Structure 1
Amino acid sequence: MPFTHRSLAAREAILVAARARFTEQGFDRTTIRQVASDADIDPSMVMRYYGNKEGLFAAAVDVDLRLPDLAALPHDQVAGSLAKHFVRMWGSDQGGPLSILLRSAVTHDEAAERLRSVFGGQVAAMVRRLLGEGPETETRAGLLATQLLGIALTRYILRLPPVVAMDDDEVVAITTEFIDRILGEPLPPRA
């Protein structure tokens, strides 16, 4: 059944309200009734479009990292390009799907699994394209995710003063160093 203009507008109003509630209250404290009230829509419509709170959450946090094609870049520009991409993305996502997902992943298993899926899938695929298949590729992708998520968590969610005080260029420079090490230097031997 095709969506009408009115149903598309209702869906968008629901998602805007849901993102605001999930950002403010997290997954556990947000209710369908609150979201419906904020969207000025009957709760049954939220259920009709999204099924349940989990379905609504999944739609509200549908995330594409929009990773740049790094394979065409010279090796010495890869880390800087990736660092700039993520700093810009996190900075422009305040209250958006990625911030909601990161904030909710700490306390909600489904959000944590979704975040693992996004970073495990998209970041790991990018690292495989850059480095090829190998025994360390997944480890490097995981370590890269720790840096990218760590910057986001400390700067935009926890708002640690020393990290917040840094300007974007400083964050990019430091993140570039970490990414270079993760992608290019030998990993310590495993026990």
Structure 2
Amino acid sequence: MTRRSGAATKAGILEAARARFAEDGYERATIRAVAADAGIDPAMVMRYFGSKERLFAAACEVDLGLPDLRGAPRDEVAAALVRHFLSHWEPGESLPVLLRAGVTNAQAEERLREVFAAQVMPAVAALTPDPRRAGLISAQLLGMALCRYILKFPPLTTMTREEIVAAIAPAVHRFLDLDNEEKT
């Protein structure tokens, strides 16, 4: 049996937890299942995280790293936002965990609101003064993510990332109202 360092063990637990919470949601996921997925004893999960709640909180850390698009060509801003957002839905990322759990778990729901307020709102505010637009953009992107990555609707799961960007970017562009901003 190969021994892992403490950092590697913790990273393995978080990877397993993200996958388990994304698949099962908060309520159905168990410490035992996470430990089994990580190939360790459940006591190790408790040693590193102390509780299911703390494990969930650690698994749900999200840094969208939204790019500053103020200097980007106006006709490329929406596609860049959609493309960047899609990159955060790969296996092992925290967004699928938050989205699945956010509709049934108060802790996940609050964490989604925090990510929106601290990361999405400021990024969109840098592009347009109307805060409602960030909500509309989030609704568009999260709705697509729910259908593609959580509910796995076949038409969306078979589309390439660039097909999704091409389909959704015009709506995001409209929500940013980039073409009409200078007219107001």
| TM-score using structure 2 length | 0.84
5+ residue gaps, structure 1, are none
1:29 and 2:22 are equivalent in the alignment: no
2:116 to 94, 116, 119: 119
CA distance in 1, matches of 2:156, 2:40: 40
CA distance in 2, matches of 1:78, 1:17: 34
1:147 and 2:140 are equivalent in the alignment: yes
Question: In the alignment, what sits opposite 1:110?
Answer: 107
Structural mapping, 1:66-85, within 5 Å: 66-85=65-84
Question: Higher relative contact order by CA 8 Å / sep ≥ 6: 1 or 2?
Answer: 2
**Cα pair 1:120 1:141 within 8 Å, conserved:** no
1:138 to 131, 134, 152: 131
CA distance in 2, matches of 1:70, 1:124: 14
Give the 3 Å change call, closer, same or farther, for CA 83–13 of structure 1 in structure 2.
Answer: closer
Q: Aligned partner of 1:76: which letter?
A: D
Task: Report deviation, 1:28.
Answer: 0.6
**Cα pair 1:94 1:156 within 8 Å, conserved:** no
Give the 3 Å change call, closer, same or farther, for CA 46–182 of structure 1 in structure 2.
Answer: same
Mean Cα deviation higher: 100-109 or 139-148: 100-109
Question: In structure 2, the residue corresponding to 1:155 is in which secondary structure?
Answer: helix
5+ residue gaps, structure 2, are none
CA distance in 2, matches of 1:160, 1:39: 29
Deviations 1:155-176 (A, max 9, x none): 1211222323433222112211
CA distance in 2, matches of 1:43, 1:88: 31
RMSD: 2.2
Give the 3 Å change call, closer, same or farther, for CA 151–172 of structure 1 in structure 2.
Answer: same
| TM-score using structure 1 length | 0.82
Spell out structure 1 runs of 4+ moving beyond 4 A. none
Number of matched residues?
A: 177
